[in-house]
Every structure is written in structure tokens, then in C-alpha cells.
């Protein structure tokens, strides 16, 4: 009996070690046109505030970022500020990181491809926005006006991704999508 238990434990350890690799989310590259067509809105803005919280069922951590809108490229957003919600964050020392999820940091200047959905936060009754295409739907705009993407790997379609592009060129490309 002890020998069988020992063998089972050793096999379980070997089995678990075989699957203990650093996995990265690998996505198919999405073009600016694909992102724009999948979005209800595309905006530029600045991240004003970021707060993480538990989902209603207390099983997942979400983060809500307050975005001050500086430009509406597509869509009909009437608010000056919106909440963008995404999976991941840290609450009371417990953290959750999703490898291909775009995160937002206070003070960032951004361009986002968005879709509107119900919030995962129980007390928040109004809708929030989610980033289309996860990390592919977020551009950081640097002080030189260059729109940059990061935080994901693609298996195919890398050539269709616009990256390190002047933000005005990107905006014109988005406005040209029918």
C-alpha cells in the first residue's frame, strides 16, 4: 500500500512538472479595420483613475479605469468620461494577471477600441466599456504623438498590425473604415 501511494505521488509530481511551463497567450493579429468594425466606439483619452474590485460572485478580480475622453474617432459617446473594465488587478494583496489583457495605468494617454457591456461590479448598474481585441485594442500615445501597442504575441497576421505609427495617421485610417 505504501509503495503504491509513493508511486502515485511520484507520477503525479512528474505529470504536473511536465505541464509547468510559462505559457503566453498567442493571438491572431487583428488589423485596424477588424478592430474598428468590431467596436462600437473608438476614443482617445487619458486614464484618470484605476480601481480593482471583486466580481459579484467573488471569484474574479476586475479593474475599472476612469477615462477622460479627449477625442471620439468613431461611435456616439456623449459622456466626457467613461469607465473601461477589464479582468485582472489586485485587491487586498491578491492579484490576478491575464497575459493578453490590456491594462490601463493612471496618467496614460491612450487610443482604445471599445464595446459597451454590463459591468461585472454588482453595485454598478450602468454599462461600462471593454477593450476590443484585448491588448490589441489599446494604443499608448507617447509624447511625440506615436501610437504604440505591446503586451501580446501573435501567431499570424503580424503584418496587418499597425504599431509605432503617428497617431494622426492611425486616426485617419480608423475614420476611413466603412
151, 85, 112, 176 alpha-carbon torsion, rounded to 10°: 120
Q: What is the CA radius of gyration of the chain?
A: 20
pLDDT confidence of residue 98: 87
pLDDT confidence of residue 160: 74
Residues 6+ apart with CB under 8 A from 27: 100, 133, 134, 136, 152, 153, 154, 155
DSSP string, 130-165: EETTGGGGEEEE-TTSEEE--S-EEEE-GGG---SE
**How many CB atoms lie under 10 A from the CB of residue 159?**
8
What is the domain partition of the chain in residue ranges? 26-175
Tell me the residue length of the chain: 178
* Burial readout 50-79 (b: 16 or more C-beta within 10 A, e: otherwise): bebbbeeeeeebbbbbbbebeeebbbebee
Q: Which residues of the chain carry a pLDDT beneath 50?
A: 18-23
pLDDT confidence of residue 20: 42
pLDDT confidence of residue 126: 77
User: Are the beta carbons of 88 and 99 closer than 8 angstroms?
Assistant: no
Beta bridge partners of 123: none
pLDDT confidence of residue 91: 94
CATH of 26-175, one of 1.10.3470, 2.40.30, 2.40.50, 3.40.630: 2.40.50
**How many CB atoms lie under 10 A from the CB of residue 23?**
8
> Is this prediction's pTM over 0.75?
yes
**How many CB atoms lie under 10 A from the CB of residue 84?**
23
Amino acid at each position: 500500500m505504501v509503495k503504491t501511494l509513493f508511486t502515485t505521488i511520484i507520477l503525479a509530481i512528474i505529470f504536473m512538472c511536465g505541464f509547468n511551463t510559462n505559457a503566453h497567450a498567442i493571438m491572431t493579429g487583428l488589423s485596424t479595420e477588424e478592430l474598428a468594425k468590431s467596436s462600437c466606439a473608438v476614443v482617445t483619452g487619458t486614464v484618470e483613475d484605476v480601481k480593482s474590485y471583486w466580481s459579484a460572485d467573488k471569484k474574479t478580480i476586475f479593474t475599472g479605469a476612469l477615462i477622460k475622453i479627449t477625442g471620439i474617432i468613431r461611435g456616439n459617446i456623449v459622456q466626457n468620461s467613461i469607465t473601461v473594465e477589464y479582468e485582472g488587478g489586485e485587491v487586498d494583496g491578491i492579484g490576478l494577471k491575464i497575459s493578453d489583457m490590456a491594462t490601463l495605468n493612471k496618467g496614460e494617454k491612450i487610443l482604445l477600441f471599445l464595446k459597451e457591456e454590463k459591468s461585472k461590479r454588482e453595485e454598478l448598474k450602468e454599462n461600462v466599456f471593454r477593450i476590443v481585441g484585448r491588448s490589441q485594442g489599446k494604443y499608448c500615445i507617447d509624447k511625440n504623438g506615436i501610437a504604440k501597442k505591446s503586451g501580446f504575441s501573435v501567431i499570424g497576421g503580424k503584418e496587418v498590425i499597425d504599431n509605432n505609427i503617428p497617431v494622426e495617421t492611425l486616426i485617419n485610417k480608423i475614420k476611413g473604415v466603412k
